[in-house]
Amino acid sequence: MIDYHVHLWQHAPLLPLQASVDQLGDYCARAVQLGVTELAITEHSSRFRQFDALLRGWWEQDPSLARQAETATCWDEELGADLDQYVETALAARAAGLPIVVGLEVDYFPGQMQKVADLLDGYPFDVLLGSVHWIGAWLFDALDWARAQEQWAARGVERVWHDYTASVEELACTQAVDVLAHPDLAKVAGHRPAAPDEFCDRIAEAARACGLAAELNSAGWRKPCAEAYPDRRLLARFHDYQVPITTASDAHRLPDVAWRIADVCAMAIAAGYTEVSAFRHRARTPCPLHQSGRSDALTRADPVRSIGDPP
């Protein structure tokens, strides 16, 4: 089993954002207890100073001054990591024998993705997750922001899902990422469209047409939507459209690493999947999908196995 979506830091203001090999070692020790053999470190791109220098002020395109101010505050409070240090730490962990995959969760910013792709080309990433968290400057999954959640009533559920799906389609077409992360995140607060089939088809077709994998992510079980991302309907569409998948916990703290990873693997098997996708140097390799089982690969003493090598 693989966990291809793991963060180093929680969402909280003004945290010290310094990656360390020891932290990655703790993450891997936790993962092996749950049968995970490979861990992708995929911190949010917005936490890095290099992205701030590239994109700062993108929120000023939103017509609401209040949303602009709110997003600017959120952006600044969670900023401060150095992308070079982050990547160097992940590479050092791998050199120490930990099966770490070097990744990033890349947010979608309309009209900015070529600049983002040019920046990322300068780093030795294995996998890039693509996410839609903002619609304009509205951070729609900020569940603890009352003003943000009021937007659901103001905009209407159908419009939100249309705007979200259009953003996913646009992100996929940029070819800047490899995997669609939590592909139906618009349901996070529990708001679902009356007729979801159109949105499922559009998201699945975007992934297929653009050659992307889709993520099966357990974090939705920790949210008001109370189900994995994607739900069984969209997962079935991905299978029908022959979209490959990864599996993930979307952990932001140690106890959530590999959380319910066996459950998402069981979902994938029930949907007809027999393999998951691993990545090296942004190239996808299919690996057999195992619902359970423990591996000793996650130890500092052992060399990192290449994907496809015998255990």
* 311 belongs to a structural domain: no
Strand stretches in 175-301, DSSP E = 179-180, 213-217, 245-248, 275-280, 283-288
- Which token pair is 218? 């357990």
Domain that holds residue 165: 2-288
Report if residue 226 sits inside a domain.
Answer: yes
Q: Cα(100)–Cα(194) distance, rounded to whole angstroms?
A: 41
| 188 belongs to a structural domain | yes
Domain annotation covers residue 308 = no
294 — pLDDT class (breaks 50, 70, 90): very low
pLDDT in tens, 41-74: 999 999 999 999 999 999 999 999 988 999 999 9
Q: Tell me, yes or no, whether 296 lies in a domain.
A: no
Weakest mean pLDDT among 35-39, 233-237, 293-297, 307-311: 307-311
The 10s digit of each residue's pLDDT in 110-166 is: 999 999 999 999 999 999 999 999 999 999 998 888 888 889 999 999 999 999 999
Q: Is residue 300 part of a domain?
A: no
Q: Is residue 261 part of a domain?
A: yes
pLDDT at 146: 81
Tally the C-alpha atoms within 13 A of residue 72's C-alpha that lie toward its C-beta: 13
Which of helix, strand or coil describes residue 269?
A: helix
CATH at residue 60: 3.20.20.140
Residue 272 in any domain: the answer is: yes
Q: How many domains does the chain have?
A: 1
What crossing angle do the helices spanning 21-33 and 83-95 adopt, rounded to 10°? Answer: 60
